[in-house]
Structure 1
Amino acid sequence: MKIIGIADTTFARFDMASAAINELERTGTGFRIERYTVPGVKDLPVACKILIEERKCDIVLALGMPGPMEKDKMCAHEASTGLIRAQLMTNKHIIEVFVHMDEAKDDKELAFLSDSRTREHAINVYDLLFRPEKLRRNAGTGQRQGFADAGPIRSR
């Protein structure tokens, strides 16, 4: 049985892990979920590495909500770099799902974006493990998580 790890933070203003778990349970079977909650985004790389190495997860969703200040953006970049490093160290995918607080105009849009981006990436995680051909079919189609898809570039 495959194990899907979910690392989330207490700093986020939306329970992204619950949305991911709900979507994964609706999407399919053949897996179990390990959840690990940490204070903030800079704690996610080690949480993901622990999920992979100690809790034997096959793939991990890293869920975070960086704040709007310049310092928050720098911390998100550092966290993202750490997540990439953790992937390379473990040879496992860590799907980063960050929703920046300044991506939305108000709390209602922020909640919508957090929920939809998380759910769409949860499906990506499931597809990576169980239906990679679905991702191959979507290659080059301009898929976006959270907002409308960009669509493919039309050749002349």
Structure 2
Amino acid sequence: MIERIYGVADTTFSRVNMGEIAIKVIRKEDPDSQISRYTVPGIKDLPVAAKKLIDSGCNGVITLGWVGKTQLDKYSYLAASIGLIFVQISTSRHVIDVTVHEDEAEDEETLREIAIDRAKKHSVNLVKLIKDGGNALTEMAGKGLRQGYSNAGSID
């Protein structure tokens, strides 16, 4: 049997424990796998966490971050996103960037629901990509699927 190791990188700045949610979903979707977790302070630390997880043998990583409302927070996210893209390109491994932005909702309960939904759905996506291969999501292409919100639906 091929051993699959998933990396889960999360932050202490997040207001929902999305790392715990991701781990539960991955364990359910791929019970024979291993999971390695790496928690960092904030989103700008996620690229190195993802790289370290991959370097330690993870087949793919899900990063779970939280972005504040200010313009500076948005710039920090942009920098982190570019870093995560670089990690993907330099390692040829999937790094699924799951980020919740404080300004996505006015109330905390809605933010919580967005975080949980996004973490769950992207954890399933990571398992499909790692366990089932690069074409595992092809049947869902063009369906308007969303993470954190209701699906938009296809316009075909």
Coarse TM-score class (shorter-chain normalised): over 0.9
Aligned-partner Cα distance in 2 for 1:107–1:68: 13
Matched, 1:29 2:38: no
Aligned-partner Cα distance in 1 for 2:29–2:4: 14
Deviation at 1:104, TM superposition (A): 1.4
Please list, as runs of the form range in 1=range in 2, the aligned pairs for 1:88-99 lying within 5 A after superposition.
88-99=89-100
Deviation at 1:134, TM superposition (A): 4.2
The structure 1 residue matched to 2:147, chosen from 125, 145, 148, is 145
Aligned-partner Cα distance in 2 for 1:33–1:62: 13
Aligned-partner Cα distance in 2 for 1:115–1:104: 14
The match for 2:60 is: 59
Aligned-partner Cα distance in 2 for 1:22–1:137: 25
Please tell me whether the aligned partners of residues 8 and 61 of structure 2 are also in contact (alpha carbons under 8 angstroms): yes
Letter in 2 for 1:13: R
The match for 2:14 is: 12
Matched, 1:112 2:113: yes
The match for 2:104 is: 103
Normalization by structure 1: what TM-score?
0.94
1:6-45 residue CA offsets vs partner (Å, 9 max, x unmatched): 0100011110000101111222323110000000000000
User: Mean alpha-carbon deviation: is it higher for 19-28 or for 62-71?
Assistant: 19-28
Unaligned 5+ runs, structure 1: none
Aligned-partner Cα distance in 2 for 1:17–1:61: 9
Percent of aligned pairs sharing the same letter: 42
Normalization by structure 2: what TM-score?
0.94
Letter in 2 for 1:139: A
Q: Secondary structure at the match of 2:10?
A: strand
Unaligned 5+ runs, structure 2: none
